[in-house]
Amino acid sequence: MPKLTIDGIEVEAEAGMTVIQAADLVGIEIPRFCYHERLSIAGNCRMCLVEVKPGPPKPAAACALPVAEGMQVWTQSDLAKKARKGVMEFLLINHPLDCPICDQGGECDLQDQAMAFGSDRSRYHEHKRAVTEKYLGPLVKTAMTRCIHCTRCVRFIEEVAGVPELGMIGRGEHSEITSYVEQALTSELSGNIVDLCPVGALTSAPYAFHARPWELHKVQSIDVLDAVGSAIRVDARGNAVMRVLPRLNEEINEEWLADKSRHAIDGLRYQRLDRPYVREDGTLRPASWEEALRAVAGRLLATEPDRIAALAGDLADAEAMVLLKDLMGVVGSPHLDCRQDGAALDPADRAGYLFNPTIAGIEDADALLIVGSDPRWEAPILNARIRKRYLMGGFPIAVLGPRTDLTYAVEDLGNDPATLEALATGRHPFAETLAQASRPLILVGQGALARPDGAAVMGYVRRLAEAVGAVGADDWTGLAVLHTAAARVGGLELGFVPGAGGRDTAGILAGAEAGDIQVVYLLGADEIDTARLGDAFVIYQGHHGDAGANRADVILPGAAYTEKNATYVNTEGRMQQTWLAVHPPGEAREDWKILRALSAAMGKPLAQNTIRDVRARLAEVSPTFAPGNDGGIVPATSTPGFAAFTGRLEATPFASPVRNYYMTDPISRASRTMAECTDVFIHGKTHGTTGGDGGLTAAADSKRTGTDG
């Protein structure tokens, strides 16, 4: 532990730290552009120059200088100040003075640091250089004249995202950041380079020229568009969500955010259900709340309890689910399910449906088997964590599933479920690799579980996990179920599953088709085959006019995740809460309130009158929801004994439930940005040919207009 002094303050730093890290430890700010804690050290911006003794009589770059015993550092000496002022002057030689028309204005590192460390005038009279814009896809807008060549974007794309597509070509004054041939970045994490860019060279294309940072009110929330529950900050102006940015959460997303979570938010403005509807003579007509609730209540009361069913969708919050579950109890129906994909997840076996090792725990694992999952699309943030672990070395990874280009090297075990049997019975060489690992991790995706033989797959996975010591150990449970729906674990935790003699999703659909089920309550359930609902009376409660609302007989407009204080449980079993950033549009209401009002309309009011009551009810149902557990996990106790289970595995190859990363839920399906991404990344349309309608093409063109420097 070398001791050094920085500005006279004694710091005890770990060996191997650099001076800039040691300074951060004690809160001394050294300005920087290229240095970033989560990226490799480049040392090319020179903004972090400090005076150091002992050493050569010139300033040293603090980001690249390892600490040493007895080192003395000055960050505010005349030498250091003069050096930084000089660096800033050089950086500004070619940087355009276009802050008023630059989207980064107001949250720009260069702007701030020029104020703090720069000179108040320029001595430069020559022409500034101009650089052509680059095309980096529909999400990242470029103004490369503003680039100061810190190479953060290059390092992020290569190291964290794992798709080495960006680079710096040329040299000296002619350096440019570009991709090899002008093509969209094929990373699901590309939006992060906008956050990383310390200047306005890379800005968010969908957000371009929409708002200034000081106009926005910022609400800390969590993301629900995949099941990892990334920490986000919702920036809203008035009652419109303008953008979503990642928030630091070391346990989940570090400081990254996946592109869908960041850019699908324009979907919150389109296709919204902003008032109740009632179907009359085959068409939906707007109705009042009273009318709609009365229609639903009447139907629920008039139908035999055994002919009523409820399904919870992928974005449903725990408050709404618990009230709907209680309401179904009041009605007397056991037919309810939150697994609308029919995944074979046993609610009684918590270890069997959680991502037990936790996302941060991936870094502790030392061997990984991925079964029937495409983490790159199902959970890009989690995939980045796997890649992080992979880069540390000594981490054999094998994939038995649909996709192997996961941004890290994997052993391809093919995609034949029979291989799983071979693994579980120890006949496959990779089983030996897992067995030798002290902390083996087995990641199972919904693609392996949401199929007719899902229970058999889970049985073999459990058997393999027990054989290789992934479950049963005191300090390590390596069985990891990766969910794709933010609502799923919450639903399982509070038992939104068939009661005694109840039907599951498949049973409900079959029952509706056959006419045995006459009323189906869809709580944001859009991922089912609505054609199979037959003649049933369908109540849809949700926020988007998607598949469920299309089929509905009554629509009860609910709130999206940015519009309510709601609880979600991520794939790890981590309970987190969203915060209301904007109000639901029109007459839409928070979902738990709708269910409470419905119970009142039925004349059987639920006991919960406030969100506090609902949360108290949640805490009653499961310790996961206990007050004070926000952000925490109640670890599952792994119960061996499932090894005895064997079923027949089908020969059908595993397929990921995510067919198109950019459209997985009602919000992203309504998003125009995501439609453009689908065009570019899924259908392979090159820029310039994007979209059929004029609006999209115009939007694509506007992204290429840069600054005139």
Partner 1 sequence: MTAAKTIPDRAETPFAFSDANQAEVARILAKYPAGRERSAILPLLDLAQRQQGWISRSVVEAVTAVTGCPPIHVWEVATFYTMYNLAPIGAHHVQICTNLSCWLRGSDEVLRAARDVFGVGFGQTSADGTVTVSQVECLGACVNAPMMQIGDDYFEDLDYDSAKALFQAIKDGRPLTAGSQVGRQCSAPQDRMTTLTTDPTTAEGGRWTAPDSPAAGGSGAD
- Minimum CB distance to partner 1, residue 267 (Å): 33
Please report whether residue 688 would count as binding partner 1 according to CB under 8 A: no
Report DSSP state, residue 426: T
- Please identify, among the stretches 173-181, 319-327, 413-421, 688-696, the one whose residues bind partner 1 according to the rule CB under 8 A: 173-181
In the bound state with partner 1, the residue whose beta carbon lies nearer, of 132 and 705, is: 132
Q: Which of 25, 61, 31 is nearest to 46 (CA)?
A: 61
* Half-sphere CA count of 284, side-chain side, radius 13 A: 20
- Please identify, among the stretches 47-55, 97-105, 158-166, 578-586, the one whose residues bind partner 1 according to the rule CB under 8 A: 158-166
Strand partners, 473: none
- Minimum CB distance to partner 1, residue 48 (Å): 24
- Minimum CB distance to partner 1, residue 201 (Å): 16
Burial category of 566 from C-beta neighbours within 10 Å (exposed 0-12, middle 13-18, buried 19 and up): buried
In the bound state with partner 1, the residue whose beta carbon lies nearer, of 144 and 618, is: 144
Could you count the other beta carbons within 10 Å of the beta carbon of residue 419? 18
In the bound state with partner 1, the residue whose beta carbon lies nearer, of 178 and 190, is: 178
- Minimum CB distance to partner 1, residue 572 (Å): 33
Q: What angle do CA 22, 28, 33 make, to 5 degrees?
A: 85
Q: Which of 245, 250, 247 is nearest to 262 (CA)?
A: 245
Report DSSP state, residue 637: P
Please report whether residue 132 would count as binding partner 1 according to CB under 8 A: yes
599-638 residues in contact with partner 1 (CB under 8 A) are none
Identify how many contiguous H helices and E strands the chain contains and give both numbers: 22, 26
Q: Pairing state of beta strands 575-577 and 567-569?
A: antiparallel
Please report whether residue 226 would count as binding partner 1 according to CB under 8 A: no
* Half-sphere CA count of 421, side-chain side, radius 13 A: 12
- Please identify, among the stretches 165-173, 348-356, 547-555, 566-574, the one whose residues bind partner 1 according to the rule CB under 8 A: 165-173
Which whole-number Å values give the CA distances from 379 to 204, 231, 485, 661, 666, in the listed order?
Answer: 21, 14, 10, 9, 17
x-marked contacts with partner 1 along 79-118 as a string, rule CB under 8 A: ----------------------------------------
- Minimum CB distance to partner 1, residue 155 (Å): 13
Please report whether residue 170 would count as binding partner 1 according to CB under 8 A: yes
Burial category of 446 from C-beta neighbours within 10 Å (exposed 0-12, middle 13-18, buried 19 and up): buried
Please report whether residue 164 would count as binding partner 1 according to CB under 8 A: yes
Q: Which of 116, 259, 250, 117 is nearest to 186 (CA)?
A: 259
Please report whether residue 645 would count as binding partner 1 according to CB under 8 A: no
In the bound state with partner 1, the residue whose beta carbon lies nearer, of 176 and 516, is: 176
Q: Pairing state of beta strands 367-371 and 397-400?
A: parallel
Could you count the other beta carbons within 10 Å of the beta carbon of residue 587? 15
- Minimum CB distance to partner 1, residue 387 (Å): 15
Which whole-number Å values give the CA distances from 82 to 8, 78, 320, 427, 643, in the listed order?
Answer: 19, 6, 60, 68, 69
- Please identify, among the stretches 43-51, 174-182, 438-446, 662-670, the one whose residues bind partner 1 according to the rule CB under 8 A: 174-182
Please report whether residue 165 would count as binding partner 1 according to CB under 8 A: yes
- Site size with partner 1, rule: CB under 8 A: 16
- Minimum CB distance to partner 1, residue 433 (Å): 20
Please report whether residue 171 would count as binding partner 1 according to CB under 8 A: yes
Among 159, 176, 306, 587, binds partner 1 (CB under 8 A): 176
Please report whether residue 181 would count as binding partner 1 according to CB under 8 A: yes
Q: Give the footprint of partner 1 on this chain (CB under 8 A).
A: 131-132, 164-171, 174, 176, 178-181
